[in-house]
Structure 1
């Protein structure tokens, strides 16, 4: 079995003046390629910090993260950015769409920056797939929260990532809209074979993934297969 993400003895401490706060304490787990995985725990348990370290958005104090076969601490910040651009997708709670760009432009611009040919065609196909074929020329402020998150999903899958990190992807949505976005996320994941890593408070959503880990006070207290 190939593991796309390996986390070994990961510790992260933040300093505030003379005080030290250990946000993650000796966390270890691995994620098989093509699987779905959830990270759960109360607020302040270290979930988002862990996601940022796994995705190479932040650096570890001790321990290691190996993402897509590369040990992240061996890379410079620029090299980590290149790895993310080529192999990683992101979906955030607050959508993070560019307000001055249309739905289509939000999906296409990252592709154009990577020099992808036929970026416009790819963007249109993805927006059709997420049910926004008639909303491509709308700006984020003209879209509902659920529609904005669907644009964010289309953008996240646009570079055909090997692994997608979703931080509370339904956190800002009502229950019915959240359910639609969740179903779409798993559907796209299945179609593309992307590994899916979700940080969530929603235990129902976590229960839909193949595997779940639970954090409390920065420590891994549970590691279980859910299906």
Structure 2
């Protein structure tokens, strides 16, 4: 089974005046293609920083990240952006939908950027799968939090990414709505065969994945297998 993500001796430090804050310290792990993986830990443990480094949104001070066979240390920002557009999907806690676009338009933005001629049909099919077939032309302000996150799910899977990063995907949802979104996330992921990396403080959600990496104070505490792939 080939590795889709390889993180080696990663370190991230921020400087404020004369003070240095170490957010991540010598973090190493890898993820197989098609694996579901959770990153957990208390607030301030470095979870979101780690996700950003894994996705090439930021650069580490030390160590390296290899994504889809490419070492991002050797890439400039434009090259990393091209890699993300081709290989990576994102889901965020605060949905990050474009407020001036309808649900359908939000979903098909990545496809249109790629020049996909069947973007509208793909978008409608995905919105149908997440139960929003009667919300194609609604704007984010006309949708509930759960509906907005379902639009975000459809958008994330629209370009069939190799790896999907979800940062606290149920953080702004009530328990019942969050459970529905999680089921959709795992169902869509299984159907697409995507590698799924979830950052969460919710251990119940984390235990639905195959492996859990626990951070504390920027260091890896445990890297445990939950269920076999």
Which range, TM-score by smaller chain? over 0.9
What CA deviation, in whole Å up to 9, does each residue of 1:68-123 have, x standing for no partner? 00001111100000000000000000000000100000011221111111111111
Corresponding residue number in structure 2 for 1:218 = 218
Q: How far apart, in 2, do the equivalents of 1:110 and 1:29 lie?
A: 29
Q: Supply the distance in 1 between the matched residues of 2:62 and 2:162 (Cα, whole angstroms).
A: 25
Determine the C-alpha separation between the residues in 1 that align with 2:49 and 2:203: 19
Q: Is there any run of 5+ residues in structure 1 with no aligned partner, and where?
A: none
Specify the alignment match of 2:89 in structure 1.
89
Aligned to 2:162: 162
RMSD over aligned CA atoms reads 0.5
Measured after TM superposition, the shift of residue 59 of structure 1 is 0.3
Q: Structure 1 segments of 4 or more deviating over 3 A? A: none
What TM-score does the superposition give when structure 2 sets the normalisation length? 0.98
Match of 1:28 in 2: 28
| Secondary structure, counterpart of 1:112 in structure 2 | helix
- Quote how far apart the aligned CAs of 1:208 are: 0.3
Question: Which blocks of at least 5 consecutive residues in structure 2 are unaligned?
Answer: none
Q: Does 1:103 align with 2:120?
A: no
3-state secondary structure, aligned to 1:133: coil
**Residue 6 (structure 2) pairs with residue 6 (structure 1):** yes
Within 5 Å, which residues of 2 pair with 1:168-179?
A: 168-179=168-179
Alpha-carbon shift at residue 168 of structure 1 (Å): 0.0
Query: Between Structure 1 and Structure 2, how many residues are aligned?
Result: 227
Task: State the alpha-carbon separation in 2 of the partners of residues 4 and 117 from structure 1.
Answer: 28
Question: Residue 38 in 1 paired to residue 29 in 2?
Answer: no
Q: Secondary structure of the residue that 2:27 maps to in structure 1?
A: strand
Aligned equivalent of 1:65: 65
Residues in 2 aligned to 1:63 and 1:120: alpha-carbon distance in whole angstroms: 41
Q: Secondary structure at the match of 2:152?
A: helix
Residues of 2 paired with 1:173 and 1:218: CA distance? Answer: 27
CA–CA distance in structure 2, aligned partners of residues 174 and 12 of structure 1: 33
Secondary structure of 2:151's partner? Answer: helix
What is the DSSP-based 3-state SS (H/G/I as helix, E as strand, rest coil) of the residue aligned with 1:111?
A: helix
